[in-house]
Amino acid sequence: MSVDAQKIEKLVRKILEEMEEKKKPAETECEWGIFDHMNQAIEAAEIAQKELVQLSLGQRGKLIEAIRKAAKENAEKFARMAVDETGMGKYEDKIVKNLLAAEKTPGIEDLRTEVFSGDDGLTLVELSPYGVIGAITPTTNPTETIICNSIGMIAAGNAVVFSPHPRAKNTSLYAIKIFNQAIVEAGGPKNLITTVANPSIEQAEIMMKHKTIKMLVATGGPGVVKAVLSSGKKAIGAGAGNPPVVVDETADIEKAAKDIIAGCSFDNNLPCVAEKEVIAVESIADRLIDYMKKHGAYEITNKEQIQQLTDLVVENGHANKEFVGKDAAYILKHIGINVPPDIRVAIMEVDGKHPLVTVELMMPILPIVRVKNVDQAIELAVEVEHGFRHTAIMHSKNVDHLTKFAKAIQTTIFVKNAPSYAGIGVGGEGYATFTIAGPTGEGLTSAKDFARKRKCVLVDALSIR
């Protein structure tokens, strides 16, 4: 072989190797849906979605069942990983949340067809997939949101590319891997759920701009909701809340106190629906506080200590992330108060403009504001909810008061005489979701919200009336 021929052969081999290398990402087994680059994750999900829609609805239902089963089997592991990785929340409560998402998130039964029939024939309005959905998930409910979004989005015929919170990376990636395995074992396509090995805001931005992504769903704070709504794509924004609890003079005061402490301390206040401030009419406020103490609250009465706590947990008008989702005893220790571990919530009386009231803290710290009557309570509750229209809770036996508050506050979830978590299906009727879309109005999102309405018209036939 001449020198030139050798050179050409070497060059060809190099080009072939490079081509092989380029082909790899889309084809590699990439650890069950986890890719190095966002573009690869999206391309693989696109291929998977095309395979998914070739399956029957019955087969699609089997994939949903497989995700539910895998989520239930791993509920404890997911909870342990999330607490260890994020340093937030409570193991036992996270198990409850994972099981809730696995069992009560609607599947394909959520896709209901509308029918019109008459002299001109038969028309169907059916719910069809968007294609590939980009879903951004929070650190507060990492696996719960992935379970809930995967079930709803796949039930509607989509593939989903996740952009998890970097602080919940390992937990989120593990859940994605487990669900992909379950889907493939149940006869579904590989890479129906994908993500990147190192999630970041930069990777999320690539996802938000990618032409293959037809819908974006953000579950998180105001920043990410604004980002998806500015993307120019169809978007669902499930944003922040600051749920107020109103207690009036007609309530069962001990039950109200017990329910409020239970809701506020659930997963150390991480759920966006959890009680964040109490507004109580003055005639029952003392009794309410006494009962709260009986049911696991520690009251701070010293004004200096309340200020110290405020300086500790509120940072530039936002919650100090170091204390989000921590135990009450841990937080109190930082201001020199030692309480036994069975103290679940710290309570304190403040005025309605206090930062502990107005800032969404996501900690078991519960300020109480005393007001003259129920009208003042409702007015203040509407103000401190900031128009998020997320969640509100009321303890009252007066139907007119309940109706007045519900009408005034216009929240997506309104819980009467129960802990806030009844609103997401723990001890309350109705289906579960961990993506509560107040700003964009879908409310408690499920498969029907991840689908497009399409009309199919057959003229002059099949109306048999």
Cα–Cα distance, 45 to 145 (Å, whole number): 19
Sheet holding 193-196, edge to edge: 34-35, 193-196, 159-163, 132-136, 213-219, 234-238
DSSP 105: S
Question: Residue 450: which of 13, 64, 81, 47 has the closest Cα?
Answer: 64
Q: Which alpha helices (DSSP H) does 75-168 contain, by range?
A: 75-86, 91-104, 142-155
Least distance between ligand NAD and beta carbon 324 (Å): 7
Under rule CB under 6 A, residue 137 binds ligand NAD: yes
DSSP 438: S
Helices and strands in the chain, H and E counts: 16, 20
* Closest chain position to ligand NAD (CB): 220
The stretch among 179-187, 209-217, 348-356, 431-439 that binds ligand NAD (CB under 6 A) is 431-439
Under rule CB under 6 A, residue 95 binds ligand NAD: no
The stretch among 57-65, 74-82, 108-116, 157-165 that binds ligand NAD (CB under 6 A) is 157-165
For residues 261 and 444, which CB has a smaller minimum distance to ligand NAD in the complex? 444
Cα–Cα distance, 202 to 294 (Å, whole number): 48
Under rule CB under 6 A, residue 139 binds ligand NAD: yes
Q: What character string, x for contact with ligand NAD (CB under 6 A) and - otherwise, covers 160-179?
A: ---xxxx-------------
Q: What character string, x for contact with ligand NAD (CB under 6 A) and - otherwise, covers 340-369?
A: --------------------x---------
**Structure tokens, 439:** 């700003």
Cα–Cα distance, 268 to 271 (Å, whole number): 8
Residue from 160, 204, 297, 381 in contact with ligand NAD (CB under 6 A): 204
For residues 189 and 243, which CB has a smaller minimum distance to ligand NAD in the complex? 243
Cα–Cα distance, 265 to 276 (Å, whole number): 10
Please, which of residues 434-463 interact with ligand NAD by CB under 6 A?
Answer: 434-436
Cα–Cα distance, 84 to 209 (Å, whole number): 33
Of 30, 264, 272, 456, catalytic: 272
Least distance between ligand NAD and beta carbon 341 (Å): 25
DSSP letters spanning 204-235? HHHHHH-TTEEEEEEESSHHHHHHHHTSSSEE
Cα–Cα distance, 427 to 90 (Å, whole number): 19
Under rule CB under 6 A, residue 322 binds ligand NAD: no
Residue from 49, 74, 105, 140 in contact with ligand NAD (CB under 6 A): 140
Contact 382, 408 (CB under 8 A): yes
Question: Residue 321: which of 179, 72, 139, 190 has the closest Cα?
Answer: 139
For residues 74 and 435, which CB has a smaller minimum distance to ligand NAD in the complex? 435
Contact 194, 28 (CB under 8 A): no
Is 264 catalytic? The answer is: no
For residues 137 and 310, which CB has a smaller minimum distance to ligand NAD in the complex? 137
Please, which of residues 209-228 interact with ligand NAD by CB under 6 A?
Answer: 219-221, 223-224, 227
Under rule CB under 6 A, residue 241 binds ligand NAD: yes
The stretch among 106-114, 150-158, 414-422, 428-436 that binds ligand NAD (CB under 6 A) is 428-436
Contact 98, 69 (CB under 8 A): no
Residue from 141, 143, 171, 420 in contact with ligand NAD (CB under 6 A): 141
Contact 68, 75 (CB under 8 A): no
C-alpha angle 452-105-110 in degrees, rounded to nearest 5: 40
> Residues touching ligand NAD: how many (CB under 6 A)?
27
DSSP 198: S
Beta bridge partners of 159: 132
Least distance between ligand NAD and beta carbon 241 (Å): 5
Least distance between ligand NAD and beta carbon 270 (Å): 8
Under rule CB under 6 A, residue 97 binds ligand NAD: no
Least distance between ligand NAD and beta carbon 292 (Å): 23
Least distance between ligand NAD and beta carbon 227 (Å): 4
Cα–Cα distance, 337 to 306 (Å, whole number): 11
Under rule CB under 6 A, residue 238 binds ligand NAD: yes
Least distance between ligand NAD and beta carbon 438 (Å): 6
CB burial string 177-207: b at 16+ within 10 A, e below: bbbbebbbebebbbbbbbbbeebeeebbebb
Least distance between ligand NAD and beta carbon 230 (Å): 9
Supply the residues annotated as catalytic: 272
Contacts with ligand NAD by CB under 6 A lie at: 136-141, 163-166, 201, 204, 219-221, 223-224, 227, 238-241, 272, 360, 434-436
